Amino acid sequence: MIHDVALTVPEPGPRAELGTFVGRVVQLDPVAAVRLCGAAGTVTAWVVTPFEVLATRTVVGELQPADVTVAATALLTALTVDRGATVDPGSEGHWRGGELPPADGWTAVGKLAADELAAATEHGLDEARTQAGPHGPPAVLLDRTVFTVAAPTGPPVQVPLRCLFALSGLGLLPDSGAHHPVQLGTTRSWLRLDTPGGGVVRSRRVTLPLLV
């Protein structure tokens, strides 16, 4: 069933921030789909990156219906051309990113310094340039652990290179030396890295594919 879709982001600042995030998504993947989820006065955008890592951004707003998937290009046009508080983000599409992580139940594990992230990402990109094949960098490189962080409880948390590539590809990595470290959080099944411009989320159940 086709519904009329209305996205309301009252303040210009959050609208611009969401537009910037979606613009980066389109640059990384022009045919990407964005899943919008509204709850408790906020709207959260989700997208599957080419690195099999979810990217996300939350702003204050309202969404009708409360869960809808639209083309990233249509959403970007609505946010940057219409410029109204309420926009039509486009017709409903199909979400192919599998289950979404929970909104609650996250444990703050620690912070990763901007300069360390930048160095690890650049080193990984250098390797990817020499190892990439027709389908991009090999999975063994993307799954390489680049950071291991002690958790408050349970085993240490391992951060794979694919998460850093997703942050870099979306322009979310803080500049080296920036005073905004990346926040690392987990649930039993998910890993999350948050920056001021958005975050990336990866299933920790590595034996299960993200895409379905």
Q: Delimit the domains of the chain by residue range.
A: 6-87, 107-203
- In one-letter notation, the amino acid at residue 170 is L
Euclidean distance between CA atoms 92 and 1, whole angstroms: 9
Residue 134 has pLDDT above 80, yes or no: no
Architecture of domain 6-87: Roll (3.10)
Euclidean distance between CA atoms 144 and 48, whole angstroms: 20
Q: What is the mean pLDDT of residues 90-96?
A: 87
Place of tokens 């652990």: 145
Euclidean distance between CA atoms 146 and 205, whole angstroms: 18
Please state, rounded to an integer, the average pLDDT across all residues of the chain: 90
State the pLDDT confidence band at 16, using cuts at 50, 70 and 90: very high
pTM for this entry: 0.90
C-alpha distance from residue 171 to each of 174, 179, 208 (Å): 8, 16, 27
C-alpha distance from residue 60 to each of 1, 42, 89, 129 (Å): 27, 4, 16, 39
Residue 193 has pLDDT above 90, yes or no: yes
Angle between helices 114-131 and 161-169 (to 10 degrees): 100
Q: What is the mean pLDDT of residues 10-38?
A: 96
Place of tokens 């590809």: 169
Place of tokens 């959403």: 75
Residue 59 has pLDDT above 70, yes or no: yes
Q: What pLDDT score was predicted for residue 37?
A: 97
Residue 30 has pLDDT above 90, yes or no: yes
Q: What pLDDT score was predicted for residue 93?
A: 85
Residue pair 118/181 in contact by the 8 Å Cβ criterion? no
The tokens for 189 are: 């099944």
State the pLDDT confidence band at 1, using cuts at 50, 70 and 90: very low
pLDDT, tens digit, 9 for 90 and up, residues 173-192: 987 766 778 999 999 999 99
Locate the DSSP E strands across 11-106: 33-39, 42-48, 54-60, 62-64, 67-71, 86-87
Residue 211 has pLDDT above 50, yes or no: no
Q: What pLDDT score was predicted for residue 79?
A: 94
Residue 210 has pLDDT above 70, yes or no: no
Place of tokens 């980066």: 24
pLDDT, tens digit, 9 for 90 and up, residues 135-158: 778 899 999 999 999 988 888 999
